[in-house]
Amino acid sequence: MSTWLYNLTAITLIGIGATAVTDLWSVVRSRFGIALPDYGLIGRWVAHMRNGIFFHDSIASAPFVRGEAYIGWTTQYLVGIAFAALLIGICGSAWLQQPRLIPAVIVGIATVAAPFLVMQPAMGLGIAACHASHPVRARIQSILTHTIFGLGLYWSGWLFQTFYFK
């Protein structure tokens, strides 16, 4: 397998794995009364972009889009793959042969900038969810989730390295 194809395969599987870890984290949180994320709202936001609408006062009040849940879930996993590519872009492909925890967690935490500075403001929640009903809680949940994503990057990288080379 060429290096390019190997790296693409690794990035894709690691991104999917790390995103799945965050989904499992969401299920665990829901056992403690924290609502599951509504990826349909992300799908609605993304779907409205094709009409040139990038910002909403409230994404929940924006018109429903057919297939928005599918679009949202797909977006969630594609973003996870992009963030895995970011990790490999920063650390180099050597990380794939020997995954390290600290860089993965740092990248995971750093990716919280995307919802804080792009998604939440565009969906009507303001920068770092300052307009949410409980902004501090929303920020803490975002940071925890992206930390878990970083752990997921590491675990997925470790699994890929362990089982791909055997």
Q: Are 107 and 86 in contact (CB under 8 A)?
A: yes
pLDDT reported for residue 60? 94
Q: Is the pLDDT of residue 96 over 50?
A: yes
Quote the CA–CA distance of 158 and 163 in Å, as a whole number.
8
Residue with tokens 């994503």: 149
Residues 134, 123: Cα–Cα separation, whole Å: 16
Average of pLDDT values for 28-46? Answer: 95
**What pLDDT does residue 122 have?**
96
Q: What does the pLDDT read at residue 37?
A: 93
pLDDT at 91 over 90: yes
85: exposed, middle or buried (Cβ count in 10 Å: 0-12, 13-18, 19+) = middle
Question: What's the pLDDT score for residue 166?
Answer: 47
pTM above 0.85, yes or no: yes
User: What would the two tokens of residue 110 be?
Assistant: 């750093």
Q: What is the residue-averaged pLDDT of the chain?
A: 95
Looking at residue 165, its pLDDT comes to 59
- Dihedral angle, C-alpha 150, 154, 155, 158, nearest 10 °: 170
Round the CA-based radius of gyration of the chain to a whole number and report it: 17
